[in-house]
Amino acid sequence: MQKIRVGIVGYGNIGRGVEAAISAAEDMELVAVFTRRDPKSVTTRSGAKLVHMDEIASYRGAVDVMVLCGGSATDLPVQGPQIAALFNTVDSFDTHAKIPEYLQSVDAAARQAGTLSIVSVGWDPGLFSIMRAIGGSVLPDGNDYTFWGRGVSQGHSDAIRRVEGVKNAIQYTVPIEQACERVRAGENPALTTRQKHVRECYVVAQEGADRARIEHDIVTMPNYFADYDTTVHFITEQELHEKHSRMPHGGFVFRTGKTGFTGEENRHVIEYALKLDSNPEFTGSILAAYARAAVRLSREGVSGGKTVFDIPLTALSPLGRDELIKNLL
C-alpha cells in the first residue's frame, strides 16, 4: 500500500506535534516541512526535509495533503485559501467567531481546484465540537457546558505580553471544580463566565516596571480578563522557563438533558473529558488523523471546504471499515 504523503506548513509547536504523529503513523510519511524562515536555519526533529514556502507549488503531485500549522490571527486567513487552491489541506483554525467566514473562503478555493480542505480541526474546535453536536442530537432538551483547563491559553498569554512593562507571561485557564461538580450532578446550573473558570497569570516584569499598574491593566482587560477572577503572580524569567514551559491542557464537555413525557422525565448526563500532557502533540495527532481522512475522501471524489461535522469515522480511522465494525462497533 502506498503511504499517504504529507507536508507540514509552519514549524512551531503544532507543526512539531504533527511531525511526531506522522512519524508514528504506519500509513503516512512526511515529505517535507515548509517554512517562511531560511530552511538552512532550522533542523527538523525527524530529519524531514525543510523547504521554503516559495517552493510549495512545485510539490504538487508529490504531496497528498498539507497540514497547515500557522496561527489563526494572520497566517491561516491568507494561507488557507492559497494552499487549498493547490493541495488537499487540514488546519486548526480556532477563532470560533470567524470560522464560517474562513470556511467560506477555503471552500471557494478548494471547490475551484477540486481539492478537499478540512478546517478547524483540533480538540476545540474539533473533538469538543463533535461532542457538542452528538450531545445536542441525542438530548435535544438539554444544556451544553464546556470547561477548559487547567492549561495554557496562547491567546491570553499573548494578550498579557502586549501590556506595557511585561517582558514575558504565561496564562493558565482553570476550571472551577465546584461548577463542574454541579453540572456532573445534573443540577443544570446557570453559570456566568466568572463562575466557570479562573485565570492565573505568571508574569515576568521588565526592570523598574510598575507592577501594580501591570496587574491592574491585566485584570481589567476587556474580553480577556475583566469577566473573570484573575490572579497575577510576578516571577523571574528563569522561574517561568523552569516551571511553566510544559504545555499540558485539558477540559470537559457536558451535555445534560431530559427525556420522556411531561411529568415522567428522566435525566441524563454525558461527559467528555481530556487530560493532556502536551496540547500541541495531541492537537497534532488529531490533525494527522484528519489529514488521512482528507486524502481518503479526496480519492473518492469529494472536494470543497469541510469540517469535523462532515467527516465519517470510516475515513478517519487507520483501520479499514470492516475492521472498525468487527473490532470497535
By CB under 8 A, residue 192 contacts a copy of itself: no
3-state SS, residue 188 = coil
* Separation CA 95–CA 239 (nearest Å): 31
Instruction: Pick between residue 208 and residue 222 the one whose CB is nearest to a copy of itself.
Output: 222
Residues in contact with a copy of itself, shown as a per-residue x/- string from 26 to 65 under the rule CB under 8 A: -------------------xx-------------------
Four-point Cα dihedral 192, 198, 203, 205, nearest 10: 50
Q: Strand pairing of 249-259 and 142-148?
A: antiparallel
Give the residue ranges of the annotated binding site for NADP(+): 11-14, 35-37, 69-72, 92-94, 121-125
Return the range that interacts with a copy of itself (CB under 8 A); candidates 21-29, 81-89, 209-217, 235-243. 21-29
The least CB distance from residue 248 to a copy of itself, in Å, is 8
Under rule CB under 8 A, how many of the chain's residues touch a copy of itself? Answer: 69
What whole-number distance in Å separates Cα of residue 76 and Cα of residue 274? Answer: 26
Strand, helix or coil at 71? coil
Binding-site sequence positions for substrate: 148, 173, 199, 249, 279
Kindly give, in sequence order, each residue whose CB lies less than 8 Å from that of residue 144, ignoring residues fewer than 6 positions away.
Answer: 132, 135, 136, 253, 254, 255
| Span from 60-68, 94-102, 109-117, 174-182 in contact with a copy of itself (CB under 8 A) | 94-102
Nearer CB in complex with a copy of itself: 176/270? 270
Dihedral over alpha carbons 273, 277, 281, 285 (to 10 degrees): -40
Q: Where are the beta strands (DSSP E) in the chain?
A: 4-9, 28-35, 50-52, 65-68, 88-91, 116-118, 142-148, 151-152, 166-175, 197-205, 229-234, 249-259, 266-276, 304-306
Assess 108 for contact with a copy of itself (CB under 8 A): no
Among 133, 176, 191, 302, binds a copy of itself (CB under 8 A): 133
Figure out which of the listed residues 155, 165, 186, 189 binds a copy of itself, where binding follows CB under 8 A. 186
Question: Residues in the site for a copy of itself, rule: CB under 8 A?
Answer: 17, 20-21, 23-25, 45-46, 96, 99-100, 103, 120, 125, 127, 129-130, 132-134, 136-141, 144, 186, 259-261, 266-278, 281-282, 284-286, 289, 307-314, 316-319, 321-322, 324-326, 328-329
